[in-house]
Structure 1
Amino acid sequence: MTLAETGAPAWSWNLLSDFQEMWSYPFMVNAFRAGAVVAVVSALVGWFVVLRRQTFAAHTVSLVAFPGAAGAVLLGVSAVYGYFTLCVAAALVIAALRGGGDHHESALTGTVQAFLMASGFLFIALYRGLLEGPQTILFGTFLGITPSQVTILMAVGAVVLAVLAVIGRPLLFASIDPRVAAGRGVPVRALSVVFLVLLGVATAEASQITGTLLVFALMVIPAATAQLLTARPALSLALAVLMAFAATWLGLTAAYYSPYPLGFFVTSIAFAGYLLALGWRSLHALLASRIGARLTSAQVGA
């Protein structure tokens, strides 16, 4: 349940007053802080996910966060432990499948996905305590985020970003041309495993904000949008972070004033940005082709 369902907040169109009221609640301040950390980490890791064409792996890891959280709640521990345990475990399994050269990797991964999702719903059904049901785990919520959770997210995010900064350049090389990178002595296999572990950690972190189903969207859509707009790695990374940050904070604001899940707003805003970028790129390509056709006609006429 959001505050909008209780009738507490109401949009007044006085932006300054509205934001002052919203940030007067400690849990909203915690939500915006957590959202900022999640947006930055998800965008940077997601940029490499898109570049390396590992979106199916990201989707798999995001889905298994659900049974991880549900199983942790069933065992009487924080869902955070379930998020991180199963997401990292799934990332290691995917790394093992890739290393083994299994031709049935996609089918096997999809089968495990289905089984774990069913297990998650079983854990929810077996739980006898006070649980809102799968909606919060699947679609996210900004309620109940504590300062200690924000601290954990910041610490985990700092570790992920530090590791990514260390392996960033060789990972970029290995992502663009793995054969040439391997020939130059880059440890392509080891980098792949480390990156998949980072993907698992980043997914577990973001799942606490967007939910397990929609974390995939936050991790992939801003990165895909940025890569549509520019091929320059540094600028593309910066754009991905900016878009993820904007989608998360705008989503938090919209969710505060409505009864709908946070993940829906974050995903919708990010997707709208992708559509705008796609339209801009298509328009740019159309104009370029027309200008090129005119120049060719002028040269032929001359």
Structure 2
Amino acid sequence: MSADPLWSWNLVGDVRQMWSYPFMVNAFRAGAIVAVVSAAVGWFVVLRRQTFAAHTVSAVAFPGAAGAVLLGVGAVSGYFTLCVTAALVIAALRGTGDREESALTGTVQAFLLACGYLFTALYKGLLEGPQTILFGTFLGITTTQVTVLLGVGIAVLAVLALIGRPLLFASVDPRVAAARGVPVRALSVVFLVLLGAATAEASQITGTLLVFALMVIPAATAQTLTARPAASLLLAVALALAATWAGLIAAYCSPYPLGFFVTSFAFTGYVLALGVRVLRTAVPGRPVGEVAS
């Protein structure tokens, strides 16, 4: 936006003025959807130690969006197509060995990033597009886009709720889960597809480079503060919502990218959580640990 809209002592009036703009209403709606979905999926990402996979999927969102714009089919289609495809590729590579999997994933990631920059260079009319794709924006979010995000978000959360308990078991102790008949491999594939869809959503708000702001930081913060799965998951969602809405308000009153503010607020929460953890360890009898089943 710009530095023109400033907050006054009349906060109610300021909020009403901000929400008098349809694009800001759509931004808050889209931000809420993306925050909830990203925090829920991200909670399992952190628990399963799959942050590298999340980083890879978020990185390929850039060439996906840039390529879609070049083809004239819209950036949203590119986000979802390449993010989900990347998730399926990662799922296919799992089991080839950690070293080979990491090497192949990193190689493909580097190549696709180079393709993304080529696509932006080929599309001569793309002026501020690269900054928007990389760092996110709240300008121009339409009602149709919010509807698409809501539909995808409901589908992701529904599947995640359906597989939540066995996925938690498989995430905490995959060998025992497999021994008890839990389809660990199938759950991993389904979860990676959910990760791809959630990353495509989050990329439209935070930008492809800052997806971790919503996908990882709130979940890591919540798991730092509590070892109870249900409480930790709810806390992650609350933190993601707070960071997103605070970021939208800050971006509305300044000329700087939305992704910067969302990331900054989320990171501040994580630093504070680490401080709380340090204080707890200094007090005897206060349990601090990782999320337990």
**Structure 2 counterparts to residues 1-302 of structure 1, below 5 A:** 2=1, 4=2, 7=4, 9-101=5-97, 103-288=99-284
Q: For 2:181 and 2:233, how far apart are their aligned partners in 1?
A: 26
Distance 2:24 2:225 in 1: 32
CA distance in 2, matches of 1:121, 1:104: 26
Post-superposition offset of 1:289? 7.6
AA partner of residue 107 (structure 1): A
Question: Once the two structures are aligned, what percentage of the paired residues are identical?
Answer: 81
Q: Tell me by how many angstroms 1:130 deviates.
A: 4.5
Aligned to 2:291: none
Amino acid at match of 1:256: Y
Separation (CA, whole Å) in 2 of partners of 1:182 and 1:13: 59
Aligned AA (1:238): L
Letter in 2 for 1:230: T
Partner of 1:299: none
After superposition, the CA RMSD in angstroms is 1.3
The match for 2:289 is none
Contact 2:206 2:213 in 1 (8 A): no
TM-score normalised by L of structure 1:
0.92
Once the two structures are TM-superposed, the CA of residue 11 in structure 1 deviates from its matched residue by 2.4
Output one character per residue of 1:75-116: Cα deviation in whole Å (capped at 9) or x when no partner: 011100000010001101111110334631112211211111
Aligned in 2, Cα 1:223/1:102: closer, same or farther, shift over 3 Å? Answer: closer
Verify the 8 A CA contact 2:219 2:236 in the aligned structure 1: yes
| Structure 1: gaps of 5 or more residues | 291-302
Give ranges in structure 2 of 5+ residues lacking alignment.
287-293
Paired positions, count: 286
* DSSP-derived class of the 2:283 partner: helix
C-alpha distance in 1 between matches for 2:189 and 2:136: 28
Cα distance in 2 for partners of 1:12, 1:204 equals: 36
Aligned-residue offset at 1:218: 1.1
Which aligned runs of 4 or more in structure 1 are off by greater than 6 angstroms? none
Residue in 1 that maps onto 2:290:
none
For residues 208 and 98 of structure 2, the distance between their equivalents in structure 1, rounded to whole angstroms, comes to: 27
Report the Cα distance in structure 2 between the residues aligned to 1:117 and 1:154, rounded to whole angstroms. Answer: 28
- Report the AA paired with residue 184 of structure 2: V
Distance of 1:47 and 1:102 partners within structure 2:
22
Q: Deviations over 1:47-101 (max 9, x none)?
A: 0000000000000000100000000000011100000010001101111110334
